[in-house]
Structure 1
Amino acid sequence: MKMKAINKIKYIGLACCLSFASCNDYLDINVNPNSPTYVQPDLILPGAINTAAAYQVSYSTYGGNVVGYIANAGGFSGFGNLLTYDYVAGTGSQWGSYSNLLDLKYVIDGSAENPELVNFKAAAEVMSVYQFHKLVDQHNDIPYEEALQGKANYAPKYSEASSIYVDLLRRLNEAITLFDGESQTVKKLNASSDPLFKGDIDQWKKFANTLKLRLLIRISAVDALKAKVTEEFGKMDMTLGFLTKDAINNPGYVKDRPNPTWSSWGYSTAGNPVPTSRVPSFFIYGFYDGNKIDDSWRGKVIYNDFGVTTRPTPLNQLGNETGNPPVRSGYSTWYTGVRSSASSITDALGVVKGPTQGQPMMLAAESYFLQAEAFLKGYLTGNMTTAFENGIKASFNYLYLDVNGALAAGKNVATDFAAYKAANAASYLVDISKAGTDAQKLEAIITQKYIAMNMITGEEAWNDYRRTGYPKTTPGGSKYVDMASVTSNSPRPDKLPTMIKYPTSEYNYNAANTKEINHFADQIFWAKK
């Protein structure tokens, strides 16, 4: 991987935009002989967190394209390999996040030299783990041990994916112990320096612990790592706990510098719909409209015109380019507010709430579903059913939050969850007590997790599918049960790809270490064989 040297002037730019969105302009590193020689590491952390939040939308989108959240709309052409899965080098890859990892390394290295910045170092370590594991989950082996050395090593060797995961677990353990929010000699994180948790060290620890749980669950079926998994679960601090609140980044998004979800799936600053050329798929919609599960409660806050027979939500199966509905004029399909004109757009609930909404990094719903799986498989001790139901409730809760993060007036999570459970009383995918086997219980957990992550963390839904085979898909079946594109060229039974190819830059500048990927045959090391 060709890594350019760090140019310190970029950090002045980052420091100036800490209160805004992704600061993508500052990912470009230019040579400037007048650049300062040093910038405090604590000034870099907020911008790095904001950039990671912006990348989260891109990760979710690539996952949603594969795992049945998103389909091509009518009236557009040129979808190419997104429909056939004949991915070329770099399709869907978020390799650019190495630039953000370089920023985080600057914080880690600089904070290590200043004991007062221990909390900044710990937070940067957690965010670095968050970014690195996502790259592994896309590509498997990646530059890791020799990465981020700038001009000292333009062609780093690739590290084995499983060894990277083991080291990421070590780093999370160390970060949890590093956090020290009480000592008077330690500089505190606050709302300015920490757009994710506003200086709440307990939440940072829970986030790290939940991220550790995610990694352990993901590798739990890998034979060579089972001893490591057992060891790590055995020393997991259960008194620390896991996320019970959504991890939501918000540096102060405003209309002119909006939340990245809004700018990707909602509206431009001029009030025009973002030209996505995408609509929801029948596969995901069936979990709301009764074709698989009856869930009008969440469906109404996610999808424009959900359940309206006279003007139904536009839907398609990926790959169908004949007679499929276009994107509705003036509206984003995932926006459920009122748009009277370009200058009159109300805030909404659901996924696309408004330009000032926070950006989810990890949902509390995922935390509960991870716990439910750990309880089911005996890795941790706890009530699986309670965790499962808390996961569904947490999903309702996030979708019912308004743009300011408050529960919307008139919304009652407990009441609507009870109604949801009653409406689907015969389905073990909703009432897990109806599941007769552990396989059905796992299917229920992963399927509800899939529903909760819809258009929020789509990459995690694809990771779970590759790891477990859930939610179930029926290749060649109806549009409501077949996740895959109808024009897929994948020879696999499920007609889906398995991973993402490395970007062209790697083949151009690091060819000696970069291998060709067969994205229909090669698998991530933790994938179900």
Structure 2
Amino acid sequence: MKRNGYILLSMMVLFISILSSSCKKDFIELNTDPNGTPNALPRQLLAPALVNTLGINMLRSRNFNNELMQVSVDPGDSEGKVFRYDVKRSWADYTWNGWYTQLTNFKDIYNIASQEVTYSKTYMGISLICQSWIFSMLTDTYGDVPYSEAIKGRDGNFTPKFDKQKDIYTDIFKQLEAADTLLNAAANVTAGSDPVFNGNALKWRKFGNSLYLRLLMRVSGKADVSADVIAKIKQIVDTNPADYPVMGSNDDSAVLRWTGTGSLTSPFIGGVREQDWRQPGVCEFFIGNLAKWADPRLVNNRFSISSYQGGIQGIPSGYAPGENIGIKSYFLSTTSATTLMNDPLMGNIMNYSELQFILAEAAAKGWIAGDAGTYYKNGVQSGITFWIPTFNTPIDDYLKAADIVWDNAAPLGDKMEMIHVQKYYSMFYTDFEQWFEYRRTGYPVLPKGNGLRNGGVMPARLQYPVYVQSANPNNYKAAVASQGADEINTQVWWQKQ
């Protein structure tokens, strides 16, 4: 019996040893992120990082930006309705967490591409542009944020300091300069790795410099940097355009085109139920201008908007709880083969039309030599043809019929309003850009309903995620002491006069 006991014990030890070895092997395999392995290549990392970033942007554009900026209204009398400026602290977490996660991925792309064995100026340049783009959204949303010490958790820094927005912008401009240099005559990369430009290095360079102009314009109102900013805009556009190529047509627009196949399926498909998609109504302001102009984006139903009692009727934003708004128009989901839920153009990062309005503003203010009216007309036309490529009405005829003809003799304020009303439509579903530009310029002038909270004042930022207060308390307190109270009405640096 004693001998049998030893045999049984030996068999159990052997079985446990084999099982332990097998489990350890499987554990290592199952807990290794294929996108974060040392053997991953930039061409494997770029597309997932872009897709994930656009997914974040589109979902929050729909349920936050669109509600603030009167594109849509999610009707109801409950608390926490964004269209009434009733913004809960929980809104802060999703974009903060998502954008910082993707910044880690883009940083990995740069680090791997800079190594001797995988050296690629193109992927390095693309990475710097994408990091600049995401950091700009972060700082424009929250103000002072971790930047110089951000995404260094692998180095043991889990409590990064918050950099001042002015310093963040200064360094972003340096990164975009570096990207332009890297992409100058750089080789194209694997087309399949890049769902935005199919690996075309020159188009990435054009986007980087167009983004540069967007961000220069955003801080141009700050007296302490305006002279340098205006000089840089002039250098890019007038003095040295060969060294700073920008978008030249809609074909150069930075758009992640959803194909409906695999990972290139719109985040609205599967991420938003059809009944939820139909819930927000189209806002009266958004749809009213399109109807007044007989805009083909509405007439040809590219935006897939339903009719109401034979016409198009939107919901007034900011209406008070208890007001009778009736049944109005909404964005459709299933009445045609292509709707906004799966439209390839919804993955918009920055388009040519937006650039033309940036140049129109710069020209109207006398910062560049071009004709503001020409840029304005190009912006309106390309904004329409971006969505309706078959639009062939002469642009002067369209502007005259819509009563939005450019007038060089008009006061600057009137010109700015004309530019920014049209720019508002060019930035349709472009992350939070409508909100950012409204905070910078005050345009377009949005009607205010009787039910607005927050004193009827458009929120100036999102609050920091609540967990940051406990996870990084000292740096959080320092940021609040420097920037101001962690509230939605505390203006970020470029807003303050």
Change (3 A) 1:377 1:8: farther
2:132 aligned with 1:144, yes or no? no
Counterpart check, 1:486 vs 2:490: no
Deviation of residue 60 (structure 1)? 2.3
Distance 1:313 1:84, change over 3 A: closer
Deviation, structure 1 residue 414: 3.6
The answer to whether residue 260 in structure 2 is matched with residue 253 in structure 1 is yes
**1:98 to 1:470, Cα distance in 2 relative to 1, 3 A:** same
- For the 8 Å contact 2:464–2:486, the answer to whether it is kept is no
TM-score, normalised to structure 2, is 0.82
Aligned to 2:47: 46
Unaligned runs of 5+ in 1: 1-6, 15-34, 340-344, 401-406, 474-481
Q: 1:449 aligns with which of 423, 443, 456?
A: 423
CA distance in 1: counterparts of 2:364 and 2:298, whole angstroms: 29
The residue type equivalent to 1:55 in the other structure is I
Could you tell me whether the CA contact under 8 Å between 2:359 and 2:375 is conserved in 1? Answer: yes
Give, as a single letter, the amino acid of the residue that structure 2 aligns with 1:324.
I
Distance, in Å, in 2 between the alignment partners of 1:435 and 1:134 is 35
- Residue in structure 1 matching 2:470, options 469, 489, 508: 508
The alpha carbon displacement at 1:228 in A equals 2.9
Q: What amino acid sits opposite 2:491 in the alignment? A: Q
Structure 1 position 434, deviation (Å) = 6.3
Distance 1:313 1:214, change over 3 A: same
What amino acid does structure 2 have at the position aligned with 1:371?
L
Aligned length: 449
Structure 2 matches for 1:148-159, cutoff 5 A? Answer: 148-151=151-154, 152-159=156-163
What are the residue-to-residue correspondences of 1:98-247 with 2, within 5 Å?
98-114=100-116, 116-151=119-154, 152-181=156-185, 188-236=188-236, 237-239=240-242, 240-243=244-247, 244-245=249-250, 246-247=253-254
**Which residue type is aligned with residue 296 of structure 2?**
W
1:59 shift after superposition: 4.4
**352, 365, 388: which one aligns with 2:376:** 388
What CA deviation, in whole Å up to 9, does each residue of 1:94-116 have, x standing for no partner?
10210000111111122222363
TM-score by length of 1: 0.77
C-alpha distance after superposition, 1:194-220 (max 9, x if no partner) = 111011111111100100000111111
Distance verdict in 2 for CA 1:42–1:180, change over 3 Å: farther
Deviations 1:42-82 (A, max 9, x none): 32122112222212213423222212212123xx5545252
CA distance in structure 2 between the aligned counterparts of 1:277 and 1:441, rounded to whole angstroms: 36
CA distance in 1, matches of 2:58, 2:217: 23
Aligned to 1:346: 337
Mark the CA change 1:398 to 1:353 in structure 2 (over 3 Å): closer, same or farther.
farther
Q: What letter is aligned with 2:352?
A: A
**Compared CA separation, residues 90 and 146, structure 1 to 2 (3 A):** farther
Please show how residues 258-407 of structure 1 align to structure 2 within 5 Å.
258-260=265-267, 272-275=274-277, 277-290=279-292, 294-300=293-299, 301-304=301-304, 309-310=309-310, 312-321=312-321, 322-326=323-327, 333-335=330-332, 339=335, 345-348=336-339, 352=340, 354=342, 359-400=347-388, 407=389
Contact 1:263 1:355 in 2 (8 A): no
Question: For the Cα contact (< 8 Å) 1:302–1:334, is it kept in 2?
Answer: no
Aligned-partner Cα distance in 1 for 2:148–2:263: 39
Q: 1:397 to 1:528 in 2, by over 3 A?
A: farther
Structure 1 position 177, deviation (Å): 0.6
Which has more radius of gyration?
2
Alpha-carbon distance, 1:318 to partner: 3.1
Q: 1:358 to 1:86 in 2, by over 3 A?
A: closer
Does structure 2 retain, via aligned residues, the 8 Å contact 1:8–1:39? Answer: no
SS of match in other structure, 2:407: helix
Tell me the CA shift for residue 181 of structure 1.
4.8
Amino acid at match of 1:387: Y
Q: Is the 8 A contact 2:57 2:431 kept in 1?
A: no
Q: 2:52 is aligned with what amino acid?
A: T
Unaligned 5+ segments in structure 2 are: 1-28
Checking the alignment, whether the CA contact within 8 Å between 2:256 and 2:344 is kept in structure 1 is: no
State the identity %: 21
Deviation string, structure 1 residues 431-475 (Cα, Å, up to 9, x no partner): 112651122111111111012223x226111111111111123xx
2: CA distance, partners of 1:305 / 1:464: 25
2:391 is aligned to 412
Q: Does structure 2 conserve the Cα–Cα contact (< 8 Å) formed by 1:90 and 1:500? A: no
Preserved contact between residue 118 and residue 178 of structure 1 (Cα < 8 Å): yes
Change in Cα spacing, 1:176 to 1:90, as seen in structure 2 (3 Å) is farther
More helix by share: 2
Q: Which residue of the other structure, out of 401, 406, 426, is the alignment partner of 1:423?
A: 401
Q: Separation in 2 of the partners of 1:95 and 1:392?
A: 33
Counterpart-to-counterpart distance in 1, 2:431 and 2:152: 31
Distance 1:518 1:346, change over 3 A: same
- What's the CA shift string for 1:103-141, capped at 9, x where partnerless? 111111222223632211110110010100000110110
114-123 or 212-221, which deviates more: 114-123
Give the secondary structure class of the aligned counterpart of 2:120: helix
1:189–1:200 Cα contact (<8 Å) kept: yes
Which residue does the alignment assign to 2:24?
Answer: none
Q: Which amino acid aligns with 1:53?
A: L
